[in-house]
């Protein structure tokens, strides 16, 4: 069984995201430890990329900071970070990045290294279902879950995508790029229902969730929630002093899900 399933056992999963190297890799490391202490069930680590097409301005700016002259965060330096984290962090961790990052590193080299350092899954938002065979056979070879995404427009394709999914299904709650939304109007419950009809696999909802109230409402309809931009915004605001603020935010979000 995939290690990722542990995140969803007997509870609604809270899945925070951050961009590695923003504001620097040392702070990223401390942020991960703090999020684990605060009750995160799985952590999404973003490998920075110069053209993150699925991201809104908040995460785009985080990528720019991570890649800038002060940091020059590289894929290798992110791998080193995970090696350090895995000395004490036992919860599942997945990479979220773009196909070009994997291609330019060498797909097999990248994915085999993920296995070696203890990464459990890979999210590539710019790879449509029809092109996942570029990576999926290599992921299966190294026991890495290639996480499938479904969008509000997926409709007829949902059962096809779900049938092939591993780890968990990432349900995109809103059209467009990542970012905080004041209202989420998509019928995510229907999306989750279509997935579950096809396969018994956890579904986590992301894109737009920022408040405990939103997290609770979304988690009632799924197995977990993913929060990125709201956390990255706190990091952007406080920089190297962000750790206690992010920890408090994750604690509040975790508490909101504990009652469900």
Locate all alpha helices (DSSP H) within the chain, ordered by sequence. 25-37, 57-67, 75-85, 99-105, 107-117, 136-141, 158-163, 188-198, 212-219, 229-238, 243-258
% of the chain residues with pLDDT over 90:
80
Q: How confident is the model at residue 222 (pLDDT cuts 50, 70, 90)?
A: very high
- In this prediction the pTM is 0.94
Q: What is the pLDDT of residues 210-219, one digit of tens each?
A: 999 999 999 9
* C-alpha–C-alpha distance, residues 37 and 204, integer Å: 21
For residue 206, the surrounding DSSP H or E stretch is strand 203-206
% of the chain residues with pLDDT over 70:
94
> Is residue 247 pLDDT above 60, yes or no?
yes
SS3 131: helix
State the DSSP code for 167: S
Q: Beta-carbon neighbour count of residue 1 at 10 Å?
A: 5
Strand 148-150 vs strand 13-19: parallel, antiparallel, or unpaired?
Answer: unpaired
Q: How confident is the model at residue 178 (pLDDT cuts 50, 70, 90)?
A: very low
Residue 258: both structure tokens together: 């504990």
Residue 105: both structure tokens together: 């590193």
Tell me, what's the pLDDT at 133? Answer: 95
Tell me, what's the pLDDT at 72? Answer: 87
Tell me, what's the pLDDT at 180? Answer: 45
On whether the 3-255 domain is CATH 3.40.50.620, my answer is no
Q: What is the pLDDT of residues 140-173, one digit of tens each?
A: 999 999 999 998 887 789 999 999 999 999 998 7
Q: What is the pLDDT of residues 100-132, one digit of tens each?
A: 999 999 999 999 999 999 999 999 999 989 999
Torsion of CA 188, 193, 166, 50, to 10 degrees: -20
> Is residue 230 pLDDT above 90, yes or no?
yes
**Contact yes or no for 204/225 (Cβ under 8 A):** yes
Across the chain, what does the average pLDDT equal? Answer: 92
Tell me, what's the pLDDT at 57? Answer: 86
Tell me, what's the pLDDT at 151? Answer: 85
Of the two residues 167 and 190, the one the predictor is more confident about is: 167
Domain boundaries defined on the chain: 3-255
């Amino acid at each position: 069984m995939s290690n990722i399933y542990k995140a969803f056992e007997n509870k609604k999963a809270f899945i925070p995201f951050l961009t590695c190297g923003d504001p620097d890799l040392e702070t990223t490391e401390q942020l991960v430890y703090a999020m684990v202490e605060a009750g995160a069930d799985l952590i999404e680590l973003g490998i920075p990329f110069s053209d993150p097409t699925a991201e809104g301005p908040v995460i785009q700016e985080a990528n720019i900071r991570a890649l800038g002259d002060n940091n020059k965060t590289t894929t290798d330096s992110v791998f080193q970070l995970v090696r350090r984290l895995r000395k004490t962090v036992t919860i599942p961790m997945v990479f979220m990045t773009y196909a070009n990052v994997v291609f330019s590193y060498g797909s097999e080299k990248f994915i085999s290294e993920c296995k070696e350092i203890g990464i459990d899954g890979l999210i590539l938002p710019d790879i449509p279902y029809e092109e996942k065979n570029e990576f999926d056979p290599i992921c299966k070879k190294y026991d890495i879950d290639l996480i499938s995404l479904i969008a509000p427009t997926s409709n007829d394709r949902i059962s096809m995508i779900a049938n092939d999914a591993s780890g968990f299904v990432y349900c995109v709650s809103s059209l467009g790029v990542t970012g905080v939304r004041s209202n989420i109007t998509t019928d995510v419950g229907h999306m989750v229902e279509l997935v579950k009809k096809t396969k018994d696999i956890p579904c986590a909802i992301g894109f737009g969730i920022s408040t405990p109230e939103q997290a609770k409402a979304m988690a009632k309809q799924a197995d977990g929630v993913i929060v990125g931009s709201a956390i990255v915004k706190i990091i952007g605001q406080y920089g190297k002093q962000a750790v206690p603020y992010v920890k408090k935010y994750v604690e509040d979000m975790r508490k909101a899900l504990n009652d469900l």
